[in-house]
Amino acid sequence: MERQINVDMLAVCSADGSLQPVRFRFEDENHIVRMARVLEILSCQEIRYVNVEAYSYSCRARIEEEECLLNLRYSIRSHCWRLQQRNYANV
């Protein structure tokens, strides 16, 4: 998956203001709504460069019955979550 896909996200915001993605849904290339659950956050990086402030999360997730590695990005200014890429290699 090379393009970014906007997702509907359920996330937890802790007392210190940090975000943790929990579950999300998105429309795939066949226009089917898929549900996903984040199993583990492998890393989180803050991204700051010209006109972009975001957090990038590397995660292990389950999309329906399939586990995968994926990258999620939260844009601070627009308050939007996006699915960056998804890899189905043996997880």
Mean pLDDT computed over 32-45: 96
* 40-79 per-position pLDDT tens digit: 999 999 999 888 899 999 999 999 889 999 999 999 999 9
Q: pTM for this one? A: 0.86
Q: From residue 19, how far is each of 1, 8, 55, 76, 89 by CA, in Å?
A: 24, 15, 9, 11, 27
Burial letters 71-83, b for 16+ CB under 10 A, else e: bbbbeeeeeebbb
Q: What is the pLDDT of residue 34?
A: 93
Give the domain ranges of the chain. Answer: 5-87
Give CA–CA dist 69/5, Å, rounded.
15
What mean pLDDT, rounded, does the chain reach?
Answer: 89
* Percent with pLDDT over 90 in the chain: 76
